[in-house]
Amino acid sequence: VKATFFVTGMNFPQYDDYLQKILDDGHTLGIHTYSHVYNDIYDSLDAFKEDFYKLQDYIYECTGEEVKIYRFPGGSANTIVSAEVREQILKWLDEEDILYFDWNVSSGDATNVMLSPENIAENCINGVERCNTAIVLLHDSGAKKSTIEALPLIIEGINRLDDTILLPIDEETVTIQQIRLTEE
């Protein structure tokens, strides 16, 4: 099974080798943020770009790949960023040909509530079953042990669904976006 990993820069350099391994193993590498500090990155377009470029440049140094796929912390409809700054960010991403993706299926593992692997798998499978194209939100931090334990259940459950294929995000993937750039 191939996946998309939206990475942060918070844990490097101990995970540098994983960046190349993600690509070597046929997965997709995406940018989440360097710092993951919402108030800082969403303060202004300049702050957003600084954080974005810091991680994009770092990934390039480690892999030689210019990553142009992004996921907003909290999603594009988060309540931290002002409407004005959000619109500036969306316009900049569009100008730079950077695709951003949100999710339409949540595992539920983003909260501090400890869900069982079975609950996480059920959330994912039920969500995928309801969508034509599904992008599932999962988190892989060390504190998310239930998510790791749920992966075999998720993969097996989704593979049992009719007409369902597990694929990583790429440039051809239908974008799932909570907020889109306003056309002028």
Model pLDDT, residue 112 = 64
Q: How far apart are CA 160 and CA 163, in angstroms?
A: 9
Q: Show Cβ contacts of residue 76 under 8 Å, excluding neighbours closer than 6 positions.
A: 86, 90, 100, 102, 177, 178, 179
The pTM is what? 0.91
Beta bridge partners of 4: 28
Helix (H) or strand (E) segment spanning residue 142: none
For residues 56 and 9, is the Cβ–Cβ distance under 8 A? no
Beta bridge partners of 30: 6
Q: Show Cβ contacts of residue 158 under 8 Å, excluding neighbours closer than 6 positions.
A: 124, 125, 128, 164, 166
CB atoms within 10 A of CB 46: 10
Per-residue pLDDT tens, the chain, 184 aa: give them. 999 999 998 766 777 889 999 999 999 999 999 998 999 999 999 999 999 999 999 999 999 999 999 999 999 999 999 999 999 999 999 999 999 999 999 999 987 678 999 999 999 999 999 998 999 999 877 677 899 999 999 999 999 999 899 999 998 999 999 999 876 5
